[in-house]
Amino acid sequence: MVGGAKSTVPDSSPAAAGGRKTRIAVLVSGGGTNLQALIDAQGSVITDGEIVLVIANNSKAYALERAAKAGIDSAVILKKELGSQEAFEAAIIGKLEEYDVDFLILAGFMTILSEDFTRRYEKRIINVHPSLIPRFCGEGFYGLKVHEAVLAAGETVTGATVHFVNEIPDGGEIILQKEVAVQPGDTPEVLQKRVMEQAEWIILPRAAQMLSEKLKKERA
Ligand code: GAR
């Protein structure tokens, strides 16, 4: 499914290439509050990049509504329909090429990508993770599970990390981190919301701008 029939073909003339904004795809699986933070940061924090495509691996993801409301094209790509990780990733690559995407943001994208895929987009995929990597990360640590583990361990400080994605889950180079206090009486849900508000929604747009600016300069 592709939503909308907006202008998807970029101006590829040499004159336009140096000046055009860096083209971003955001990959999502769920609610999409980080996608919303990125949408809201366009034109303020994110001045050198634009979100041209949202890809969801879940047709019910509320993030798709957020994309539609913002007038951003979206695609739903389902692994179970395509039959294999290889076919799933080939479909993603096809969309990224169709939209001439420069880099990818994983914003609550709950699928691990293969080494072939991460190598293809080396230093061009970033992910937001809701802990201070290297704590509470890697396989099995996602979403609320991260905050449950932080509380079970009795931590007083947690936070979020934006990092490059490589073949090791949550193992790529760290770009930005921000600490958040754990408060007495926190539940996983309350802590998740605080980490989002005080860290994720701030550092993800900043990192998106950093990479947008870098790639724009490299094209100039
Ligand atoms: C966010 O907290 C994000 O950091 C986390 O899932 C949530 C998605 O929320 N991602 C991971 O745990 C990845 N390992 P959102 O859909 O509202 O942005």
Measured in Å, residue 195 CA sits from the centre of ligand 1 at 10
Q: How far apart are CA 44 and CA 97, in angstroms?
A: 27
What pLDDT digit, counting tens, does each position of 65-119 carry?
999 999 999 999 999 999 999 999 999 999 999 999 999 999 999 999 999 999 9
- Which segments in the chain show pLDDT lower than 50? 1-17
Q: Is 163 among the residues known to form the active site? A: no
Containing 87, the helix (H) or strand (E) segment is helix 85-98
Please check whether residue 82 is in contact with residue 91, taking contact to mean a CB–CB distance below 8 angstroms: yes
Looking at residue 176, its pLDDT comes to 98
Looking at residue 199, its pLDDT comes to 99
Measured in Å, residue 17 CA sits from the centre of ligand 1 at 33
Measured in Å, residue 29 CA sits from the centre of ligand 1 at 9
Query: Helix, strand, coil proportions of the chain in percent (round to 5)?
Result: 40, 20, 40
pTM above the 0.75 mark?
A: yes
Looking at residue 18, its pLDDT comes to 55
Q: Which is the closest atom of ligand 1 to the Cα of 108? A: 8
Q: Which is the closest atom of ligand 1 to the Cα of 33? A: 17
Catalytic residue (choose from 23, 66, 129, 194): 129
Q: Which is the closest atom of ligand 1 to the Cα of 160? A: 4
Please list every protein residue whose CB sits less than 6 Å from any atom of ligand 1.
30-34, 107-108, 128-130, 142-143, 146, 196, 200
Looking at residue 19, its pLDDT comes to 87
